[in-house]
């Protein structure tokens, strides 16, 4: 009788129509999720946990819902895999777009889990592994929920923990708080787009394991570009299921390159090393001219030689090095000291710009927000990085 069950764990697939203005990136996010599932299937995994943000937005549109979500579900069925999904902060719609999906291990597909206990079993004669989870909520709501939450072998959770990010934020809880309930042996989490693993003793002296798998495709330039999925090996010790092993399995995503260019020599080296079809992040000194033009030409020439590259066109993300004033503005935004556009203009921009310039800047920022649909700090980050030149707001 097999006393081990292997369970896959992914999160933050962020299925979407486009990224950086490129529709090809929408296909990348679907491909990344499928790549992770294929890697897990090769390792013999039939049950996969997706800990939130399967979709990138609460209003994904017909292309994502009908095409990408449908394709992913059919892919799972063809693979003979069942994916259990909880809502994240990005896709916490009511009802969730997957809420009507209650597929089974026999059919494969998607099962949406919200504040209930799912029992999974692969072998007769042994009790099933219990899995619980709930929709995304803020830290205080999670704390309240934990008091009455059902006990289970595995908790699916979508929120930041202070231990993983390295500081105690306002909307975070700690691994120790989760362990104090003594209700779960494994917390399979999502939200932070990097791999993380930690253990903590519960009041009964049992070990609780907490893990983030990271995202399945690059969402932000600062996150790790090498993606992996978790395999949780649950072993039955004669009385209960316990985590016996946690393995990380790599899978393929669109290639990522990063360059810092401060001299003509570094630009020449980057042109030699740039590969076609990837995402290329470039930080450059404004004194070096034609950086984007030369890099794009180099990548296009190589793409012609390497015809048939499956990742299609190269995507460049250009970031000029910031002046002292720009850096100070950016640090204030990223430090969370500005919580609204008006506060940004009053508390930050007025230190560097005249009132007339600040009003023009506010208009530009509002236009960016209307087009973005993303968190305002990310938009401000992009605005400061790409639109400020010296001390002139345009």
Query: Mind giving me the DSSP string for 179-194?
Result: HHT--EEEEEEESSSS
Asked if 168 and 291 sit in the same domain, the reply is no
Asked if 171 and 304 sit in the same domain, the reply is no
Asked if 211 and 351 sit in the same domain, the reply is no
Asked if 240 and 195 sit in the same domain, the reply is yes
Contact (CB, 8 A) for 317 and 221? yes
Contact (CB, 8 A) for 344 and 380? yes
Range of the domain at 367: 322-394
pLDDT of residue 186: 97
Last residue of a domain, one of 215, 233, 250: 250
DSSP conformational letter for 392:
B
Asked if 231 and 350 sit in the same domain, the reply is no
Residues forming a β-bridge with 200: 208
Report how far residue 222's alpha carbon sits from residue 348's, in angstroms, rounded to the nearest whole number: 24
pLDDT of residue 64: 77
Asked if 352 and 310 sit in the same domain, the reply is no
Averaged over successive runs of 10 residues, the pLDDT of the chain (394 residues) comes to 86 89 86 97 97 90 80 96 95 88 93 93 86 92 93 95 84 92 95 94 94 94 92 94 96 94 96 93 89 92 66 79 59 50 48 50 50 50 51 36
Tokens read off for 233: 């090996």
Q: What pTM, to 2 d.p., does this model score? A: 0.80
Asked if 295 and 329 sit in the same domain, the reply is no
Report how far residue 187's alpha carbon sits from residue 176's, in angstroms, rounded to the nearest whole number: 12
Asked if 211 and 127 sit in the same domain, the reply is yes
Domain count, the chain: 3
Question: Measured in Å, how far apart are the chain's first and last C-alpha atoms?
Answer: 70
User: How far is the CA of 272 from the CAs of 225, 269, 295, 307, in angstroms?
Assistant: 21, 5, 9, 18
pLDDT of residue 41: 97
Last residue of a domain, one of 250, 267, 300: 250
Report how far residue 280's alpha carbon sits from residue 270's, in angstroms, rounded to the nearest whole number: 10
Please give the backbone phi and psi of residue 323, each rounded to the nearest 5 degrees, phi first. Answer: -75, 170
Asked if 343 and 300 sit in the same domain, the reply is no
Last residue of a domain, one of 272, 305, 321: 321
Asked if 200 and 141 sit in the same domain, the reply is yes
pLDDT of residue 17: 82
């Amino acid at each position: 009788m097999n006393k081990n069950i292997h369970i896959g764990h992914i999160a933050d697939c962020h299925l979407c129509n486009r990224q950086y203005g490129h529709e090809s990136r929408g296909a990348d996010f679907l491909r990344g999720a499928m790549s992770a599932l294929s890697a897990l299937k090769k390792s013999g995994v039939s049950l996969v946990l997706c800990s939130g943000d399967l979709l990138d937005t609460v209003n994904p549109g017909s292309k994502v819902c009908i095409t990408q979500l449908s394709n992913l579900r059919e892919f799972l069925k063809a693979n003979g895999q069942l994916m259990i999904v909880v809502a994240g902060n990005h896709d916490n719609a009511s009802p969730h777009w997957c809420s009507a999906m209650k597929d089974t291990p026999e059919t494969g597909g998607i099962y949406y889990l919200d504040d209930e206990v799912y029992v999974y079993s692969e072998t007769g004669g042994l009790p099933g592994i219990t899995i619980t989870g709930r929709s995304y909520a803020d830290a205080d709501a999670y704390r309240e929920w934990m008091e009455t939450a059902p006990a289970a072998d595995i908790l699916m959770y979508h929120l930041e923990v202070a231990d993983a990010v390295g500081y105690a934020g306002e909307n975070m809880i700690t691994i120790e708080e989760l362990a104090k309930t003594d209700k779960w042996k494994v917390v399979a989490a999502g939200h932070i787009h990097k791999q993380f693993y930690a253990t903590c003793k519960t009041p009964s002296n049992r070990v609780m394991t907490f893990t983030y798998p990271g995202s399945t495709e690059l969402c932000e330039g600062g996150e790790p570009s090498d993606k992996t999925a978790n395999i949780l090996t649950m072993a039955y010790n004669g009385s209960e299921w316990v985590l016996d092993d946690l393995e990380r399995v790599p899978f393929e995503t669109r290639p990522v390159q990063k360059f810092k260019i401060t001299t003509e020599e570094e630009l020449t080296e980057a042109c030699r090393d740039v590969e076609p079809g990837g995402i290329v992040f470039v930080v450059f000194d404004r004194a070096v001219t034609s950086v984007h033009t030369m890099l794009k030409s180099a990548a296009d020439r190589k793409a012609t030689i390497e015809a048939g590259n499956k990742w299609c066109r190269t995507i460049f993300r250009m970031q000029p090095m910031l002046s002292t004033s720009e850096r100070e503005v950016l640090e204030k935004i990223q430090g969370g000291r500005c919580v609204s556009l008006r506060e940004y203009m009053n508390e930050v921009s007025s230190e560097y710009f005249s009132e007339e310039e600040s009003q023009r800047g506010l208009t530009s920022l509002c236009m960016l927000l209307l087009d973005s649909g993303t968190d305002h700090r990310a938009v401000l980050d992009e605005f400061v990085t790409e639109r400020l030149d010296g001390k002139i707001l345009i």
